[in-house]
Every structure is written in structure tokens, then in C-alpha cells.
Structure 1
């Protein structure tokens, strides 16, 4: 009896002390699923930049556009003209990351352009003061939007659409429905032109993008915006000031939109009351399309900029190929719809990945428990 019990004890000890099976060396393991997911991830990240390069090559070689598309003048006009839209898209990006939508960006852009032009041409104010007042007005509009959204808990789409309508009325009243001219030459000289064969506005866009990137990705403030955009209720529970952050995001957006308006004023040399609304939908399209690139499933600065120029290259190429006037607005609308759908699909696939992984991990743990 004692011999049998000692034998069972030795067997259990042997089982307990048996070395666990070791994994094969990393170089010998093959994970086709991991490799496939890495390839798919790389395609998702770089699809928009790659498509942009392909389209540039196509329009440069296609007979219908080969003579005019790759010229220095066209490329510089394309870069400079879309720089303003790029700044407007960055203005849209910030509140979207915080979980809000600002549809007044285009209206603020147009109003700041018109207001600064009127203060300089009609009132005779020095350019720095006029521009400062216009940018401050954009920040103030953003603050009003933010207070209504955050403290009165009104949907941001409704609030910013309403404010955009009010701004449009102000623009028509202030301009008397007329284009304002007589802008000081110093404004156009500061904005129009090149440095090292690159338009000055491109440097302005790059500086703005770098600022927004640093703020959103490398500061506590940016992390807080991402947090309230992901889950505002949980952010409140951990002590974040969600209303304050929401107001600040819309103020940031309004200020950037006003800066874009001043840049557009310098680029055109005049301010039109019909200027602003045309920027809103392309900016939204760029932000949503950009969320499918570089960091798929997340709104990001670099993806937004690639998307801005992708859409611009397509429209520019089609225009040079002789497309009708209705093509551009139609394409912008389709781009917005397609970008929203694509962004939703990418975000859904990204959410499924971790959930599936957790389920599989739980099943493996259950199997190991049963085996032991």
C-alpha cells in the first residue's frame, strides 16, 4: 500500500517537474495569419499615398493632360491652392478627434477673409491689427459654438450648421454682397510667392500641420482630446473636464479656420462673400479619407494632408482633361460619401481585430485549464 502511494507520489512529482514545452526559435516559426495581417495593414496605411503617386504619374503621362499637368506652374498652383484647404481640414480634424463636428469652418474661413479685408481696405487699419481681429473673431465664434455644445448639450452638427448660417448672413451684410478689393500689397507679397521653388503657403501648411501634430500626439491636452472623443463618459469618471476640453477644441478649430481665411485673402488679393462654404465639404472629405491612411481607423494629421492632395490631383487632372463644370462638385460629394463609408469600414474591422483576439485567447486559456 505504501509502495503504491509512493509510486503515485513519484509519478505526480515527475509530472510536476517535467519541463514545459518550449516554443521553437523565432526564426523557425511561421505565422501566415500574422504575415497576412501585416501585409493588409501596410496596404491600408499606404494606400492613399501610393494612389496619389500613381495618379500623378498617370496624369503626367496621359496624352490629354501630359502637356499641362506636370508643368511647374500647374504643380505650384496645385500645392499653393490646396494649402488653404489643408489648413481648413486641420481645423475640422481637431474637434472630430474630440468627438464633435464643426460645420462652420468654411463660414468662419470666409468671414475672416472678408472681415480682415474690410478692416484694411475700408477702415484703414494696419494689416497686423486687422488680421488679429479676424482671427480673434474666429476664436470667439468657436467659443460660442463650444459653450452651446458643451454646456447646453446641443448636438454639434446642429450648432455649427446654425452658426454657419448666421455667419453667412453677416458676410452678406458686411460686404453688401460685393467683393472687397484694395488689399495692401504687403499681404499678397507675404503669402504669394516661392522660396526654394516651393510656394510659401506650403511652408505655412507644413508649420500648421506640425503644430497640430505635436499638440495632438505629444501633449497631455492632445491625449485628453483623444480620450473624450473615444469615451466622454469614462473621461468624466476619471476627472477630465469634458466641457472645457470641448470648448477649447472648437476654439482651436475656429482660430485655424480664421487663419486659413487670411491665407486665402492673400492668395486671391480680394475677399468674396461666396468664398467660405465651398471649403467645408472638401475639408470633411479629407479628414475622413485621411482616417483610412497612415493610422487606419484613427483621424490623423498626415493622412488628412495626403487626402487633401489626392482629391485635388484627381479634380485637377479631370479639369485639364476637359471635364465639365459639374464634375468637381459632384466628385467632392462622392468623395465625402466614399470617405465616410470607407472610414466606417476600416474602423469596424479594427474594432473586430482586438475583440476576436481576446475571444481566442480566452478559448486557449480554457483549453489549457481543462488539459491540466
Structure 2
């Protein structure tokens, strides 16, 4: 009779573990309280909360889409361009081609998944750095956007868009804007995928140590392509929401959402599950950013405050992500009894830590 293997001892949590895991949600609560004290008439109101949830739905969905490639150690810079292309495609199919809106939305979402998969193939099988590859494919998407629109806006006729289509964004459920529930649904699906299914564990192994993933027999290229395809799928869905929100096809829209999406995804990797991209962390990060932006906006900040806030937060997020990765490396070395291999974060593929 074979003896059962010894149980693995429970890891000892460092003293700052809870601060690292839940510091960002606490910061979000504190920000909300501070702005509520400074703006008692406008900030802690139901209308303001509804406006925040509605306005940040598209950036939140896009940030969740960016989380998938980041989990594998890759970065998809094409999501901003893909968002612009997806929303003008929806408008083109509805306004110019006269398609039924459910079919148009389905085609655009599936097309986003195909575009993401092609990007993944270029990155993995072409052996091109994901920054360069996705910047190139994104530029091609931007060119396609210009070709489809001719550089002009796509504006509905006097009859407007179908009411059932615009209701995708304008409706309310349980007293809250419907887009907020879309965000929760996407976050829930990604949480199950990354935290509860073997595919999610494979993505994390690929992101943290691709050599170990290869030794374990994980088809690294296939999973990375699937991660890009998932990112494209979510980007296509975000494009549908953007079209329902703006109700026009603007060829220049899309890039404005790229930086907030990456800020949310990277900042999210520093909370809940520090050191790895995770759906709940991204959701918390987007919420904190939304509260901060709404607060400084109501305090009368100038138009340049938003990109300044996003850019500064991105730098902080990358710094915190690097610190979390180094701390995880030191903790792993201490648990195994080996000295740390250095102060650099563990390898995460060709493009950086997950």
C-alpha cells in the first residue's frame, strides 16, 4: 500500500500581505469618503454613482479584456484600435447596410475574436515581441477604420438607431445602469476562467515561467493565441457597448480608451492577487480610478488632469507590479530554502511580468 505524500505546509503570510492584497480597495473607500466630504451636495448621490457606473463601463470591459494577455506575460496594444474598429463596424452594418442589430453585434464580437486570434498567431508563431506585433496590427485596424468610414462620422438617419439596440446601454436594472451588470458578468466569467479552471492555471504558469510550462507539456502557443482571441472577443463586445452609448461611428474614437484599460489591468495585478493579473483586481482598480477621476472632475480640474492622472497611475501600477513580483520571488526562494536568484522579477515570457 503506497503511503500518501506528505501534505504541503501552509505558507506563512508576510505581515504586509493584507495591505498588499486589500490596500487598493481600502484606498477606493477612502477616496469616496474624502470626495463625499469635499462635495457633499453632488458626490455621494445616487445620480453620481449611476453616472460613474455608466461612464466607466466601456473602459472597465476593455481593461478586463487586456487582463487575459497580461496573464500570459504578453501585452495587446491593439485593443484601443480594435475598439474603434468594432464600434464603427457596428454602425456601418446598422446604418449603411441595414442589418438587424443582433446579427450585426454578433458578427462584430466574433470578428473581434478572430482578429485577436490572428494577432496571437503573429506574436507566437512569428516570434515577434507583443509590443511591436500588436502595435503593427493595431495600426492596420486603424487603417481599416479609416477605410470603412472614409474619415467621416457614421451618423444615423432621421429615424435613428433601433430603440432595442440603444437600450443595451441606456436601460437600468435594479435601479442601476445596465452596463454595470455587463462589467460584472465579464469579470465573473474571467474570474472563473483564471481562478477555477485548469486553463487559467496554465495561463498563469506560462506568464510566470514559460520554460516550466514547456517542461510540463503545456501547449504555450495555443494558450497564448487563445488569450489574444479572448481579449479580441471582449474588445468586440466593448465596441458594441460604445456604439450603443455614442450612437455615432467616430473613426478617431478608441485610442482614448487604451491607456485607462492598461492602467486598470496593471494596477489590478497589484491587488487581491498581488503579482498576477486577475479579474477581481482589475475590477477594483477600475472602480478606484473611476472614483478618483469623478472626484477631481467635480472639483473643477482642467481637461489635462485626466491624462495626467492616468499616466501617473500607470507608472505607479507598473512600479507596484514589479515590487510584487520581486517580493513573490523572494518569498518563493525563502520557502524553498534557496537564496533569491536576484532582485529582478521572475521571467514572464518575452514581454514582462504577468
Is TM more than 0.5 here?
yes
Instruction: Report the Cα distance in structure 1 between the residues aligned to 2:278 and 2:297, rounded to whole angstroms.
Output: 29
Q: Does 1:144 align with 2:118?
A: yes
Indicate the residue corresponding to 1:273 in structure 2. Answer: 251
Indicate the residue corresponding to 2:140 in structure 1. Answer: 166
Shift of 1:38: 4.8
Q: Which of 5, 8, 18 is equivalent to 1:42? A: 18
5 Å-filtered alignment, 1:304-315, equals 304-315=282-293
Deviations 1:179-236 (A, max 9, x none): 2232322111132121111110111111111111111111122122112112222222
Deviations 1:322-358 (A, max 9, x none): 1111110111111111100111112212211231344
Counterpart of 2:56 in 1: which secondary structure?
A: helix
Shift of 1:133: 1.7
Indicate the residue corresponding to 1:134 in structure 2. Answer: 108
Q: Which of 59, 62, 77 is equivalent to 1:103? A: 77
Counterpart of 2:301 in 1: which secondary structure?
A: coil
Q: Does 1:219 align with 2:197?
A: yes
Indicate the residue corresponding to 1:123 in structure 2. Answer: 97
Deviations 1:292-342 (A, max 9, x none): 111111211111111111111111111110111111011111111110011
Shift of 1:160: 0.5
Instruction: Report the Cα distance in structure 1 between the residues aligned to 2:164 and 2:104, rounded to whole angstroms.
Output: 13
Instruction: Report the Cα distance in structure 2 between the residues aligned to 1:68 and 1:202, rounded to whole angstroms.
Output: 20
Counterpart of 2:139 in 1: which secondary structure?
A: helix
Deviations 1:255-280 (A, max 9, x none): 10010110111122222212211111
Deviations 1:67-125 (A, max 9, x none): 22222222111112212111111110001111211011111111111101110011101
Q: Are the counterparts in 1 of residues 63 and 261 from structure 2 also a CA contact under 8 Å?
A: yes
Indicate the residue corresponding to 1:53 in structure 2. Answer: 29
Q: Does 1:255 align with 2:233?
A: yes
Counterpart of 1:270 in 2: which secondary structure?
A: coil
Number of residue pairs aligned between Structure 1 and Structure 2: 325
Cα 1:37–1:190, aligned 2, differ >3 Å: closer, same or farther? closer
Counterpart of 2:76 in 1: which secondary structure?
A: coil
Indicate the residue corresponding to 1:316 in structure 2. Answer: 294
Indicate the residue corresponding to 1:240 in structure 2. Answer: 218
Counterpart of 2:92 in 1: which secondary structure?
A: helix
Instruction: Report the Cα distance in structure 1 between the residues aligned to 2:115 and 2:268, rounded to whole angstroms.
Output: 26
Higher relative contact order (CA 8 A, sep 6+): 2
Indicate the residue corresponding to 1:201 in structure 2. Answer: 179
Instruction: Report the Cα distance in structure 2 between the residues aligned to 1:140 and 1:298, rounded to whole angstroms.
Output: 26
- State the 4+ residue runs in structure 1 displaced beyond 3 angstroms: 36-39, 357-361
Shift of 1:251: 0.6
Instruction: Report the Cα distance in structure 2 between the residues aligned to 1:252 and 1:307, rounded to whole angstroms.
Output: 21
Instruction: Report the Cα distance in structure 1 between the residues aligned to 2:273 and 2:198, rounded to whole angstroms.
Output: 20
Counterpart of 1:305 in 2: which secondary structure?
A: helix
Please identify the structure whose Cα radius of gyration is greater: 1
Instruction: Report the Cα distance in structure 1 between the residues aligned to 2:44 and 2:147, rounded to whole angstroms.
Output: 42
TM (norm. structure 1) is 0.84
Counterpart of 1:179 in 2: which secondary structure?
A: coil
Q: Which of 113, 120, 129 is equivalent to 1:155? A: 129
Instruction: Report the Cα distance in structure 1 between the residues aligned to 2:113 and 2:276, rounded to whole angstroms.
Output: 26
Counterpart of 1:154 in 2: which secondary structure?
A: coil
| Superposed CA RMSD | 1.8
5 Å-filtered alignment, 1:73-92, equals 73-92=47-66
Shift of 1:172: 1.7
Shift of 1:37: 5.4
Instruction: Report the Cα distance in structure 2 between the residues aligned to 1:276 and 1:312, rounded to whole angstroms.
Output: 18
